[in-house]
Amino acid sequence: MPKILVVAVLLFGSSSAMAQSVARPGSETLRAENRYYTQSILPQMRATRRQLEPYLSAADKQQLTNYWAQMRRIATISRPQYRPLVPTPGSGLIQEREQRLREGALLTKQLEPLLVRYDQPIQQLLRELQPQRRRWEVALRALHQPATQAPTRSPVLNADGTLLLEQLLSPFGLLTLNPDEPASGASGSKHN
């Protein structure tokens, strides 16, 4: 199931990226979270992902390049600029998004052999990120907590802003992060 969430984030962007253009309560927190991901987390994640490159065969690099291109194509189809962020029943957008999610899930499934093949170097890189991960989690939670409120964690709503971080720091998230993509959004593969 976590892989499906990664696919959804890659296809439709993160909630923090969507919040940039919508003025609503809490949107400043989401913009701050987006800035933190863009300026602090993603550059280091991309640098870590680049350390995986020497382990990858040429064929596997090509498979990942194809994956990024296909995900970009699906995302472009799924979120043209004129469409609403929240589809309405009967508009056909819900079925279209479900189809795009199925396509993304199929692409994801094709990468499973790479996860097995490169498990050891991926796990090693993720272990090296553990101290930094704790600092990122503290910083993200601080962005979501008013100064007077005691810390809380909502696994369903991800009220502390760490869900995307958990996805990025998964073996699949690290493998599929494009290390050469410009830092322009909250997710490493956000395509509008």
28, part of any domain: yes
48, part of any domain: yes
- What total of structural domains would you count in the chain? 1
75, part of any domain: yes
Rounded distance, CA 178 to CA 61, Å?
Answer: 11
Reading the chain (192 residues) residue by residue, the pLDDT tens digits are 455 545 545 444 444 444 444 445 567 888 888 899 999 999 999 999 999 999 999 999 999 999 999 988 888 776 655 555 565 666 677 777 788 889 989 999 999 999 999 999 999 999 999 999 999 999 988 887 764 455 454 444 455 677 888 888 999 999 999 998 876 544 444 433
171, part of any domain: yes
Its pTM stands at 0.71
Residue 153 domain boundaries? 2-176
Q: Quote the tokens at residue 189.
A: 């593969």
Looking at residue 78, what is its pLDDT? 60
98, part of any domain: yes
Q: Is the distance from CB of 141 to CB of 162 less than 8 angstroms?
A: yes
